[in-house]
Amino acid sequence: MRQHERMSLAPVHLVLGEEELLVERAIGEIVAQARELDPTVEVRRYRATELSPAELAESVSPSLFADARVIVLMAAHEAGKDLAAAITAQAADPADGVVLVVQHAGGARNKAMADALRKGGAAVTTCEKITRYEERADFVRNEVRRAGGTIAPAAVGALIEAVGNDLRELAAAANQLVADTGGAVDEQAVRRYHRGRAEASGFAVADKVVAGDRSGALEALRWAQALGVPSVLIADALADAVRTLAKVASAGRGDPNRLAGPLGMPPWKIRKAQQQVRSWRPEALAEAFAAAAEVNADVKGVAADADYALERAVLRMCAARERRD
């Protein structure tokens, strides 16, 4: 990175805050700018608790192999006294060809160091924790805009209600919705998206059960429950998986393309089921069918604990597949 190029990118950056996604984006943008100026730039990333003053000095010293470097210091608020002093000194007199990026969570710890960097002219990016609803709503609107779309006011609230407070989840949902809708996101699109996610989680459980993956099925079940997927959707997915196996088993090993019409299924689904059903004896399928019917009744009000009923059904269905006698 030549001297005149460095004029286009500040030699010292202070990324202030602890909103993880925003911090990562801020650092990523600085690194991207450095690479635009010099594609050969070397990026080194350290955590302050794992770095000594001597190692910091070595990282910014002239190198025979790379004269352009971006040094990223994460969690600088956790630095010890000596390292904090070394960071402050390095920021006050930056090494030629080195861009120093210091991430500090904010707060009182090592505040003097952050203040010194700010006063010394560091480029500051604020990434404060997003806690209020309106801030989250602004984030959603900005994410949709970044992706090239627009979002209706009612859809913003619906998306936060459906996805929750996690910024990564909100960002992923916003981008997916823009792609799905062609750019105009309304409340109905959000409802469809959320329903699709819920159904996908239920089918993930069913896929593991059909494959006989007991631990994987239980993990998928707990993940779906943690996401708030309705028990009825998970039970429906289990029943659908067993019905599919039973229908395909009764149809024999015919051409999936020819069976698609009579069975009312797409060929890919038939092909997949034909492979899966080889591991299921007729008695095992009958047992799984009974378990699926029972859990569907349970989650619709028969059982006091729907979560327990689902776990019991998953274990019963996996056991049926494993039984060889």
Residue at 192 is within a domain: no
28 plus 111 within the same structural domain: yes
Residue 1 lies in a domain: no
Does 1 have pLDDT greater than 50? no
* pLDDT at res. 325: 45
86 and 51 together in one domain: yes
pLDDT of residue 3: 42
Q: Is residue 273 part of a domain?
A: yes
Q: Is 2 within a domain?
A: no
**For the segment 78-97, what is each residue's pLDDT rounded down to a tens digit?**
999 999 999 999 999 888 88
Task: For residues 162 and 262, state if they share a domain.
Answer: no
- Of 27, 70, 28, 75, which Cα lies nearest the Cα of 51? 75
pLDDT tens digits for 223-256? 888 777 888 889 999 998 999 999 898 887 788 8
Question: Is pLDDT above 60 for 42?
Answer: yes
Q: Which of 185, 220, 251 is the last residue of a domain?
A: 185
Q: pLDDT higher for 303 or 272?
A: 272
- The pLDDT assigned to 302 comes to 62
End residue of a domain, out of 108, 127, 146: 127
Residue 193 lies in a domain: no
Instruction: Give the C-alpha separation, 30 to 154, whole Å.
Output: 35
End-to-end alpha carbon distance in the chain: 71
Q: Is residue 86 part of a domain?
A: yes
The residues near 188 (Cβ < 8 Å, ≥ 6 apart) are none
Same domain, 181 and 211: no
From 111, 58, 62, select the one nearest 84 (Cα to Cα): 111
Q: Cα dihedral sign for 95, 101, 106, 109?
A: negative
With 50 as the cut, is the pLDDT of residue 155 above it? yes
For every residue of 200-228, DSSP letters joined together read HHHHHHHHHHHTT-HHHHHHHHHHHHHTT
Residues 96 and 150 in one domain: no
Q: Residue 35: inside a domain, yes or no?
A: yes
CA-based torsion, 69, 72, 76, 80: positive or negative: negative
Percentage of the chain beyond pLDDT 90 is 51
pLDDT digits (tens, 9 = 90+) for 163-186: 778 888 899 889 989 998 999 999
Q: Are residue 60 and residue 115 in the same domain, yes or no?
A: yes
* pTM, two decimal places: 0.62
Total domains in the chain come to 3
176 and 276 together in one domain: no
The answer to whether residues 158 and 104 belong to one domain is no
Residues 6+ apart with CB under 8 A from 141: 151, 156
* pLDDT value at 148 more than 90: yes
The answer, yes or no, to whether residue 65 has pLDDT greater than 70, is no
Q: Is the pLDDT of residue 125 over 90?
A: yes
User: Residue 43: which CATH number?
Assistant: 3.40.50.300
Return the H-helix or E-strand segment holding 4.
helix 3-6
Return the number of other C-beta atoms located less than 10 Å from residue 193's C-beta: 21
Q: Mean pLDDT over residues 263-270, rounded?
A: 81
Structural domain that includes position 15: 7-127
Residue 271: which pLDDT band, with cuts at 50, 70 and 90?
Answer: confident
pLDDT of residue 269 exceeding 90: no
Q: Find the CATH number of the domain harbouring 280.
A: 1.20.272.10
Mean pLDDT of 109-133: 93
The pLDDT tens digits for 4-19 are: 344 478 999 999 999 9
Are residues 99 and 137 located together in one domain of the fold? no
Residues 317 and 213 in one domain: yes
Mean pLDDT of 270-279: 88
**Are 181 and 204 in a shared domain?**
no
Residue 14 is assigned to a structural domain of this protein: yes
Q: Are residues 214 and 235 in the same domain?
A: yes
Average pLDDT, the chain: 88
Q: What pLDDT score was predicted for residue 2?
A: 44
